[in-house]
Amino acid sequence: MQENFRQFLDRLRQTGELVDLRQPVDIRHIATLVDQAKTALFFHKVIGYDVPVVSGIIRSRERAMMGLGADTYREIEDKLAAAIAKPIPPRHVKTSPTREVLMTGDEVDLYKLPIPMSSIYDGGPMITAGVVIARDPELGINSGIYRFIVKEKNLTGIDIVTPNNMRLFAQRALERKEPLPISISIGTHPIEITGSGYRAPLGVDEMAIAGGLRGVPVELAPCATIDLPYIADAEIVLEGEILPTGWTWPEGRFGEFTRLMGGLHWNPLVRIKAVSMRKDAIYYNLHMPWENTWLAAPTRYAAIRQALRTAGVQVKDINVTLGGCAFWHAVISIKKQPGEAKNALLAALSVMDLKHVVVVDDDIDIFDPMDVEWAIATRVQGDKDVMIVSNARAKPLDPSLPQGAGIVPTGAKVGIDATIPDGIPKEHYERITYAYADKAKLEDYAKGKKDEAGKSADGTEVAALAKEILAAIEQAPLYYTDIAEKFSTYDFRTVARAIGHLHATEKLWQDPRGRMCVRGSQFAASLPKK
Ligand SMILES: Cc1cc2nc3c(=O)[nH]c(=O)nc-3n(C[C@H](O)[C@H](O)[C@H](O)COP(=O)(O)O)c2cc1C
């Protein structure tokens, strides 16, 4: 896919997924307007600014699919898995339209950019869609998205409390007592947002994953003041450096993917040394939390499927649920071999910051919360089927963990094996199914369908029928409903009387599955011994 950011906006516009607001709008109203909108919004006239704002572009499942060129949501995951398996390294170009305007030194003024605030408790105007690229002298290139709160005209924070690769790069630079140069590309296509949002292992270039998603290399161009590339298609690029302050400056609060306000964070500062932008640049304000969620979820799917593949588990389906903020919960259905549910739990729980995983058999619909709860209710013994691992890597944004300066909390991982326990007979899990469901259709009866009345009999005729039934169950045990159907030339009451006759004459018994058989025969169940 060669499409750039602007072409994507046009595609949204053409399909009615983006609405243009051409009247003057106060920047303070942008976030709530986006929150109320079903479409993306393009604010052409933001009062006091020369640059327009677009927001909410991937704030729905459909628009996330459009952004990744996928026909189904699942296809995003498949594309991501293919891109991870076959990354395409970026292509370096000399320059790009982003360099049409360049401001350096004293000219740098972040207050000229329409950077909105969003929620009531935000710590200030916040850059939410910056794809950050950095280089570590030994570990190579890394990219990711991290939020920046504007503090001065050329100073921001950077939210890297989570133990990710960018935090590691900043930590290593701090130990060298050096600033860490970073480029921040704002207004990039959802493909680059997805690539950089994927937490690749150290040494893997996320821009090459974005290239794999595109099927062609992502183009990168050199910054003006630092030795780093930026995304050539970006609308606006900030060039800066994370200062060696350590995690000593209060920043936030931030509205998080958890749908909660995070607490105050302690972060390093970032000095912005240059701003470059297109002459007619558009500022992209990524709206939390759903623009994050819809693109983050597929990265979890891909990583979980990979871990389960390595563990050799036969997976039917995975649901990274929205109730779990698309980060913390997964329900997985498997075709189980003995012991495999526990292996599946161990494998899935190793993925990222996943907290709670439920594994069910493949007869459970994992997209139906009631079915999953039913599996937990009927298949789990808490002492055998719940595994808890303490002190695993956790997301500091988890509000149930200790928070505060310098704290990198660890947390618990919980796995629930809600598969049918090994060694329990399958018939313990025979679901209620109704006799005649294939024939007796309510819609036909609503239209007036009538049933034929069977023969009714008494006395000797019932005894004769009982003999016939006895002959049938001598051959093989039959369920009561099978007998009722086999002798359906008689009405039900007559069949029931005949079976009653066999009971009264002490000929009737049942086999271990509950089928009718002859008393004392090879099929007959015997009372379990105490
Ligand atoms: C819209 C968006 C905003 C994000 N904001 C932050 C953030 O403020 N801080 C953070 O640590 N991670 C944030 N992330 C997650 C990281 O970008 C993501 O985990 C990335 O893979 C980290 O890469 P790294 O391990 O290479 O540093 C955000 C992701 C998205 C999609």
Number of domain units in the chain: 3
- Count CB-CB contacts under 10 A for residue 417: 25
- Predicted confidence at residue 414, as pLDDT, reads 98
Spatial distance between the Cα atoms of 59 and 66, rounded to a whole number of angstroms? 11
Question: In angstroms, what is the span from residue 145 Cα to ligand 1's centroid?
Answer: 4
| pLDDT (tens digit per residue) in 59-91 | 998 999 999 999 998 899 899 989 999 999 999
In the predicted model, is pLDDT for residue 530 greater than 80?
no
In the predicted model, is pLDDT for residue 212 greater than 90?
yes
Average pLDDT value for the chain: 95
Chain Cα centroid distance, residue 470 = 58
Give CA separation, 293 vs 28, 141, 257, 272, 300, in Å. Answer: 24, 25, 7, 28, 11
163 pocket-lining for ligand 1 (C-beta < 6 Å): no
Domain boundary among 427, 450, 465: 427
Question: In angstroms, what is the span from residue 130 Cα to ligand 1's centroid?
Answer: 10
| pLDDT (tens digit per residue) in 446-484 | 999 999 989 999 889 999 999 999 999 999 999 999 999
pLDDT band at 404 (very low <50, low <70, confident <90, very high): confident
Average pLDDT over residues 132-139: 96
Phi and psi at residue 346, in whole multiples of 5°?
A: -60, -45
Spatial distance between the Cα atoms of 405 and 398, rounded to a whole number of angstroms? 15
159 pocket-lining for ligand 1 (C-beta < 6 Å): yes
| 414 and 447, same domain (yes or no) | no
- Predicted confidence at residue 311, as pLDDT, reads 96
Phi and psi at residue 45, in whole multiples of 5°?
A: -120, 95
| pLDDT (tens digit per residue) in 409-435 | 899 999 999 999 999 988 899 999 999
On whether the CB atoms of residues 516 and 473 are closer than 8 A, the answer is yes
| 473 and 338, same domain (yes or no) | no
- Count CB-CB contacts under 10 A for residue 66: 19
- CA-286 nearest atom, ligand 1: 1
Number of Cα atoms under 13 Å in the Cβ half of residue 131: 30
pTM for this entry: 0.82
166 pocket-lining for ligand 1 (C-beta < 6 Å): yes
Average pLDDT over residues 486-497: 96
Spatial distance between the Cα atoms of 132 and 421, rounded to a whole number of angstroms? 48
Whose alpha carbon is nearest atom 13 of ligand 1? 146
Spatial distance between the Cα atoms of 164 and 516, rounded to a whole number of angstroms? 65
Supply the DSSP symbol for 207.
H
CATH number of the domain enclosing 182: 2.30.110.10
171 pocket-lining for ligand 1 (C-beta < 6 Å): no
Supply the DSSP symbol for 261.
B
Q: Is 527 part of a structural domain of the chain?
A: no
pLDDT band at 215 (very low <50, low <70, confident <90, very high): very high
| 126 and 272, same domain (yes or no) | yes
| 207 and 320, same domain (yes or no) | no
Domain boundary among 427, 455, 479: 427
| 408 and 467, same domain (yes or no) | no
Whose alpha carbon is nearest atom 6 of ligand 1? 146
- Which residues, listed in sequence order, are joined to residue 410 by a DSSP beta bridge? 393
Q: Is 23 part of a structural domain of the chain?
A: no
- Predicted confidence at residue 2, as pLDDT, reads 86
| 181 and 283, same domain (yes or no) | yes
Residue type, 232: A
Q: Is 18 part of a structural domain of the chain?
A: no
In the predicted model, is pLDDT for residue 331 greater than 90?
yes
- CA-168 nearest atom, ligand 1: 27
Q: Is 301 part of a structural domain of the chain?
A: no
CATH number of the domain enclosing 492: 1.10.10
| pLDDT (tens digit per residue) in 297-311 | 888 888 899 999 999
Whose alpha carbon is nearest atom 21 of ligand 1? 199
- Predicted confidence at residue 256, as pLDDT, reads 86
247 pocket-lining for ligand 1 (C-beta < 6 Å): no
Spatial distance between the Cα atoms of 233 and 345, rounded to a whole number of angstroms? 41
User: In which domain, by residue range, is 188 found?
Assistant: 87-287
Average pLDDT over residues 216-235: 98
Query: Torsion-angle region of residue 255: left (phi > 0), alpha (psi -120 to 50) or beta?
Result: beta
- Predicted confidence at residue 395, as pLDDT, reads 86
164 pocket-lining for ligand 1 (C-beta < 6 Å): yes
The dihedral through the CA atoms of 55, 148, 96, 140 has a sign that is negative
- Residue to substitute in 131, 136, 146, 167 for testing ligand 1 pocket (most ligand atoms within 8 angstroms of CB): 146
199 pocket-lining for ligand 1 (C-beta < 6 Å): yes
Q: Which of 145, 54, 87, 77 is nearest to 298 (CA)?
A: 77
Domain boundary among 287, 302, 321: 287
Whose alpha carbon is nearest atom 12 of ligand 1? 146
Q: Which of 447, 79, 77, 63 is nearest to 287 (CA)?
A: 63
pLDDT band at 248 (very low <50, low <70, confident <90, very high): very high
Question: In angstroms, what is the span from residue 144 Cα to ligand 1's centroid?
Answer: 5
Average pLDDT over residues 356-364: 98
- Predicted confidence at residue 13, as pLDDT, reads 98
In the predicted model, is pLDDT for residue 1 greater than 80?
no
| 457 and 327, same domain (yes or no) | no
Q: Is 175 part of a structural domain of the chain?
A: yes
123 pocket-lining for ligand 1 (C-beta < 6 Å): no
Question: In angstroms, what is the span from residue 146 Cα to ligand 1's centroid?
Answer: 5
Q: Is 270 part of a structural domain of the chain?
A: yes
Q: Which of 118-122, 302-306, 505-509 has the highest mean pLDDT?
A: 505-509
- Predicted confidence at residue 6, as pLDDT, reads 97
In the predicted model, is pLDDT for residue 342 greater than 80?
yes
- CA-194 nearest atom, ligand 1: 31
334 pocket-lining for ligand 1 (C-beta < 6 Å): no
Spatial distance between the Cα atoms of 254 and 260, rounded to a whole number of angstroms? 9
Q: Which of 439, 423, 354 is nearest to 392 (CA)?
A: 354
In the predicted model, is pLDDT for residue 179 greater than 80?
yes
Q: What is the percentage of the chain residues whose pLDDT exceeds 90?
A: 85
- Predicted confidence at residue 403, as pLDDT, reads 78
- Predicted confidence at residue 397, as pLDDT, reads 83
Give CA separation, 171 vs 58, 174, 526, in Å. Answer: 32, 5, 72
CATH number of the domain enclosing 391: 3.40.1670.10
Spatial distance between the Cα atoms of 366 and 359, rounded to a whole number of angstroms? 9
- Residue to substitute in 118, 122, 145 for testing ligand 1 pocket (most ligand atoms within 8 angstroms of CB): 145
| 327 and 401, same domain (yes or no) | yes
Q: Is 513 part of a structural domain of the chain?
A: yes
| 240 and 166, same domain (yes or no) | yes
Whose alpha carbon is nearest atom 7 of ligand 1? 146
| 383 and 418, same domain (yes or no) | yes
293 pocket-lining for ligand 1 (C-beta < 6 Å): no
- Predicted confidence at residue 258, as pLDDT, reads 86
pLDDT band at 118 (very low <50, low <70, confident <90, very high): confident
- Predicted confidence at residue 352, as pLDDT, reads 83
- The number of residues making up the chain comes to 530
| 244 and 278, same domain (yes or no) | yes
| 383 and 475, same domain (yes or no) | no
pLDDT band at 221 (very low <50, low <70, confident <90, very high): very high
- Predicted confidence at residue 487, as pLDDT, reads 97
Q: Is 392 part of a structural domain of the chain?
A: yes
- Predicted confidence at residue 297, as pLDDT, reads 85
